[in-house]
Amino acid sequence: MPRIELQHITKKFGKFVAVDDLNMVIDDRSFVTLLGPSGCGKTTTLRMIAGLETPTEGVITINDKIVFSSEDGIDVPPDKRDVGFLFQNYALWPHMTVYKNIAFGLENLKWSKDAIKTRVEELLAMLKISEFAARYPSELSGGQQQRVAIARTLATGPKVLFMDEPLSNLDAKLRMEMRSELKRLHRETDSTFVYVTHDQLEAMTLSSMVCLMKNGYMQQYAPPLEVYRKPANTFTADFVGSPNINLVEGMVLQGKPLILKITNQVHLSFHPKTDIAVEQGQAIVLGLRPEHIAVLEQESDVEAEILSSLPSGMETIIALSMDSIRLHSVVFGDIDFEVGKRVGLSFGDGIFNLFDKASGRNLGQGTLSRV
Amino acid sequence: MSAKSKLNQMKAFIKKPHNIILVVLLVVLGYLTLVPLLTIILDTVTVHSSEARFVKKPVGSLTLYHWTKMFASGVTSQKTFYEPFVNTMVVAFLSCVLAILIGGFFAWTVTRTNIRAKAFISTVFVFPYIMPAWTLAMAWLNFFRNSRIGGAPGLFTVFTGMETPNWFAYGLFPIVIVQGLHYAPFAYILIGGILRNMDANLEEAAMLLHANRIQIMMKVTLPIVRPALLSTFLLVFSSTMSAFAVPAFLGSPVRYQVLTTQMYRTLNGMNPGYGYIMALVMIVIGVGILMLNQWITGRRKSYTTITGKSSNISLFNLRKARTPLTILLVTILMMVAILPLASFAIESFIMAPGDYSFSNFTTEFWIGKGRADIANSEPGILRNPSIWLGLTNSLKLSIIISLIAGTVGMLSGYAIAKRRGSRLSTWVNNLTFFPYLMPSMAFGAIFLSMFAVRRGFIPALYGSFWLLVIVGAVKYLPFASRSGINAMLQLSGEIEEAGTIMGVGWLKRMTRIIFPIQKTTFISGYLLPFISCMRELSLFILLVSPSTRILTTLLFQYNEKGWNQYANAINLMIVVIVVGFNLLINKLTGASIDKGIGNN
């Protein structure tokens, strides 16, 4: 089964380290996203697995077969790795019709004319582009080109499919549509998808595993909801979720029971779910997901003032000032709030993450209450 | 529509500076390009004073004499037209093929493989194009001339003792080699630009779909660059077709005539009618080529967006061939770009041609006072007043022409881009490009006949410096206007509108906003006319008078007289000025000739 394994993969461009000592396992039939800001090494990683880029160091195994090893000097060329690649700009050949574009790979595999015709028509139908078969790419819209590119990649039936920000050139509505399309294809083709994106929403909604990267380092490799619930550090906490998590700085006032000092006025009591090792006076960062801050008309855990209210119908995003610290909260339902009003904030049902300020590492989870 | 609203429309039209620019250009360029064309046509059917005896008609009356002589008079037509015509086509075609093979190979090697010394190759490879076209022709003669043209044999014969055969030393073979090498950089820049901009993903996609190297080349890369390759071919073809200096240098010893050398003979001699017919033929071919080019680039399959992330190009690993190939390419470059210069230097320092022993070296031709036994006591070129006059004239002419052509080109680019799509803009665009298609010599000849007498408010200009200025400015406008249009098309209209809304005047918008942003492209628009003008021969050769002679025409004269050392010294001087100026501008502003070349 096509299980992909990366061991100590490093890629340097001159002195610049694009990917640093990356280890990961991509399971068969999973949908893995490589997520991170631009320049974090995610595209390079993808290209290295596909064989388009040569790693400086490390071992890559696909389906228990070593396709790259810097030590043993193994470097299997991309076309022998049995992988498909979907490029960000589609890379459709402008001088070939849609039909020719899709048939190209099959012709190279010396399929018979009839077999090619059957296969291409099947793909055209699958991606709902049958009527464009005779057109040239420049005569298609972005979304249609995208579908042709997908059909071309799927034609030879690769067991692993790599996608490099395939939706970033589409408008918002099409992107939405293509997302569900990709999820459907993943199920139908029964193959492994590795997907690069900088859009956390795409990563959250599509994938079975998210690999978050920053400056060439892997930050966290976990299922999307776990990344959301229990981010490994402040970077992943901040990168995932919209509106962003509130990262509030403070210090440990007292170790047991744990009391956090946020400002001179605001002190909160943290009830860990597991053992947490902190020292008195340690600088910390408290992560508060916006939906876990309840805004109440009465006195509650802490007091705050409403700075702005952005109702969108389904939910309202509120900016708050808690003793001059800015917080965001999301309240569900079509409610609007009066700017300048003083309200109470409750942390009642949320589970919050506590980070070490110096290293950014997650120290542990717990609930909050007033002291 | 009422009279008042018409008046208001007119006012609104005139208020916009780009409209005024377009109208002025339409009138001036119409006068300077279309009227000459009509003059040419008229000249081909007019009786000239020198031929009144044969035609038996009064001077100035209409006749088909030239046309019948040219196309339907048996052996005469064969000799004056058909033979040179076929020669021209053969030379142009073969030079083109050679230029594209060499330029394309270098371009592919530099952009797609891991060859060493890329920066060096890139810089030096452009030299042969920056240098005057005859540079390589003269170098060829310096190395390979044989005893046929009299005088001393070339370096090759001196060192090996072998006499070069005529076919090798003169005529078709060396002309094709020299023109091919001269235009190879042109192909290199165009093809290199395409390869650099071509999305490497297109090739990678093919590789992932199990295509091998050869299949990728044949089925993906070549078809994609084919339209651009064809249009490169056509542009080089039209340039080689109208080249004069190289066939004049290498062809005349064996009477190998092409259309341009024939044209020089007839225009300079007694039968301008013939020359104008040849000019017309060349213009027709040129226009045909341009239309073909537009048809090729405008077809369904071709496309303009070859953009993409090209940073990820995976370079072809040459492995063991890497170092040998680098050495080979650098050697070839040295031979075509550096060695000719060395040969000029050497030739200009030797006393008796053909004797390269140390005792034969002399500085006579550079700083000598002039000796009665050599070249009619012509002084060495550094103390020769006529050379100094030529040098000042050349510099003055090139600077004025580049200022005019560059500025007008920039303004026309601005106005054309602003009104893109309108009929007025299309006309002006075509008019600014038209001089490119006119063979230089014919263009010079037309202006000669047109401005020999007073025309309206323009006084008779024959023998005047300003005649050279007008010819040069119009001829080189296409270079400048291309860069102007390109610069403007890259610039979003909103940038200027932001200035307009803040009440910034037009002049200030141009000088403070638009020019600074696209500085390098605009400066290329000034640089290209300067360099082209510095090394131009055929455009001016019919127009100069003793007081307005320039370096290139001096060089041609010395060469015709067989004063080899002077010609070599002048050539070296021109090359040093042109290359030095290009490097200087490049260092100062980042603009360079190769950016300009890619535009046209």
Structure confidence by residue, pLDDT tens digits, B508-535: 888 888 888 877 778 878 888 888 888 8
In this model, does residue B60 exceed pLDDT 80? no
The verdict on a CB contact (< 8 Å) between A156 and B209 is yes
Task: Give the number of other Cβ atoms within 10 Å of residue B4's Cβ.
Answer: 8
Task: Give the number of other Cβ atoms within 10 Å of residue B495's Cβ.
Answer: 12
CA distance B158 to B173: 21
The verdict on a CB contact (< 8 Å) between A93 and B202 is yes
Look at residues B165, B160, B124, B169 and name the one whose alpha carbon lies nearest to residue B142: B169
Q: Choose one of A238, A270, A290: the last residue of a domain.
A: A238
CA distance B590 to B600: 19
In this model, does residue B480 exceed pLDDT 60? yes
The verdict on a CB contact (< 8 Å) between A53 and B312 is yes
Look at residues B120, B102, B106, B126 and name the one whose alpha carbon lies nearest to residue B579: B126
A88 touches chain B (CB under 8 A): yes
User: Which residues contact residue B11 at a Cβ distance below 8 angstroms, ignoring those fewer than 6 apart?
Assistant: none
SS3 state of residue A261: strand
The verdict on a CB contact (< 8 Å) between B199 and A91 is yes
CA distance A167 to A208: 18
Average of per-residue pLDDT across A305-310: 94
Least confident of A137-151, B81-95, B559-573: B559-573
**Nearest by CB to A87, which of B201, B226, B302?**
B201
| Closest chain B residue by Cα to residue A104 | B209
Task: Write out chain A residues lying below 8 Å of B315, CB-based.
Answer: none
The verdict on a CB contact (< 8 Å) between B300 and A136 is yes
Report the domain count for chain A.
2
Chain B nearest CA to A83, separation (Å): 7
Chain B nearest CA to A105, separation (Å): 5
User: Which residues contact residue A139 at a Cβ distance below 8 angstroms, ignoring those fewer than 6 apart?
Assistant: B300
Chain B nearest CA to A129, separation (Å): 19
Asked whether this complex has an ipTM greater than 0.90, the answer is no
B→A interface, C-beta within 8 Å: 199, 201-202, 204-211, 215, 219-220, 223-224, 226, 300-303, 305-306, 308-309, 312, 314
In this model, does residue B461 exceed pLDDT 80? no
CA distance B21 to B429: 12
Co-location of A84 and A132 in the same domain: yes
In this model, does residue A141 exceed pLDDT 90? no
In this model, does residue B309 exceed pLDDT 60? no
The verdict on a CB contact (< 8 Å) between A77 and B207 is yes
Co-location of A26 and A119 in the same domain: yes
* pLDDT band of B305, cuts 50, 70, 90: very low
Q: Choose one of A209, A238, A267: the last residue of a domain.
A: A238
A141 touches chain B (CB under 8 A): no
CA distance A32 to A49: 13
Q: Where does residue B60 fall: left (phi above 0), alpha (psi -120 to 50 degrees), or beta otherwise?
A: left
The verdict on a CB contact (< 8 Å) between B207 and A91 is no
Domain that holds residue A358: 244-370
Co-location of A285 and A342 in the same domain: yes
Predicted confidence (pLDDT) per residue in A352-362, tens digit: 999 999 999 99
Co-location of A188 and A293 in the same domain: no
Co-location of A58 and A73 in the same domain: yes
Locus of tokens 């790259």: A68
Task: Write out chain A residues lying below 8 Å of B300, CB-based.
Answer: 136, 138-139
| Closest chain B residue by Cα to residue A83 | B208
* Angle between helix B564-589 and helix B519-534 axes, rounded to 10 deg: 180
Q: What is the DSSP letter of B163?
A: P
User: Which residues contact residue B252 at a Cβ distance below 8 angstroms, ignoring those fewer than 6 apart?
Assistant: B261
Average of per-residue pLDDT across A310-331: 93
**Nearest by CB to A94, which of B205, B301, B309?**
B301
The verdict on a CB contact (< 8 Å) between B207 and A78 is yes
Query: Where does B12-63+363-600 sit in CATH, by number?
Result: 1.10.3720.10
CA distance A173 to A170: 8
Co-location of A229 and A300 in the same domain: no
In this model, does residue B311 exceed pLDDT 50? no
- Quote the tokens at residue B112: 């797609």
Co-location of A280 and A344 in the same domain: yes
| Closest chain B residue by Cα to residue A78 | B208
Which residue of A42, A79, A92, A98 to mutate against B (max B Cβ within 10 Å)? Answer: A79
* pLDDT band of A195, cuts 50, 70, 90: very high
| Closest chain B residue by Cα to residue A82 | B208
| Closest chain B residue by Cα to residue A97 | B301
Q: Choose one of A200, A217, A238: the last residue of a domain.
A: A238
Co-location of A193 and A59 in the same domain: yes
Is it true that B12-63+363-600 and B71-304+321-359 share their CATH fold?
A: yes
| Closest chain A residue by Cα to residue B204 | A52
Q: Where does residue A359 fall: left (phi above 0), alpha (psi -120 to 50 degrees), or beta otherwise?
A: alpha
Co-location of A250 and A173 in the same domain: no
Co-location of A18 and A159 in the same domain: yes
* pLDDT band of B598, cuts 50, 70, 90: very low
Q: Which is more confident, B162 or A271?
A: A271
Segment holding A49, helix H or strand E:
helix A42-50
Query: Where does B71-304+321-359 sit in CATH, by number?
Result: 1.10.3720.10
- Residue B376's pLDDT is 64
CA distance B42 to A343: 93
Look at residues B99, B120, B118, B102 and name the one whose alpha carbon lies nearest to residue B110: B118
Co-location of A102 and A10 in the same domain: yes
Q: Percent of chain A having pLDDT more than 90?
A: 61
Co-location of A74 and A207 in the same domain: yes
The verdict on a CB contact (< 8 Å) between A136 and B301 is yes
In this model, does residue B85 exceed pLDDT 80? yes
Cβ burial of A269 (10 Å; 0-12, 13-18, 19+) is middle
Q: Are A81 and A51 in contact (CB under 8 A)?
A: yes
The verdict on a CB contact (< 8 Å) between B202 and A91 is yes
Q: Are B538 and B440 in contact (CB under 8 A)?
A: yes
User: How high does pLDDT run on average in chain B?
Assistant: 80
User: Which residues contact residue A53 at a Cβ distance below 8 angstroms, ignoring those fewer than 6 apart?
Assistant: A11, A44, A47, B312, B314
Q: Are A192 and A25 in contact (CB under 8 A)?
A: no
Q: What is the CATH number of the domain that holds A76?
A: 3.40.50.300
Q: Hey, where are the domains in chain B?
A: 12-63+363-600, 71-304+321-359
Locus of tokens 């062809």: B251
The verdict on a CB contact (< 8 Å) between B208 and A78 is yes
Average of per-residue pLDDT across B277-288: 85
Which residue type does B464 have? S
Predicted confidence (pLDDT) per residue in B21-54, tens digit: 889 989 988 888 888 788 888 878 877 776 766 7
Q: Percent of chain A having pLDDT more than 70?
A: 100
Residues 90-109 of A with CB under 8 A from B: 91, 93-95, 104-105, 108-109
How many CA atoms, within 13 angstroms, populate the side-chain half-sphere of residue A203?
32
**Nearest by CB to B208, which of A83, A109, A137?**
A83
Task: Write out chain A residues lying below 8 Å of B305, CB-based.
Answer: 138
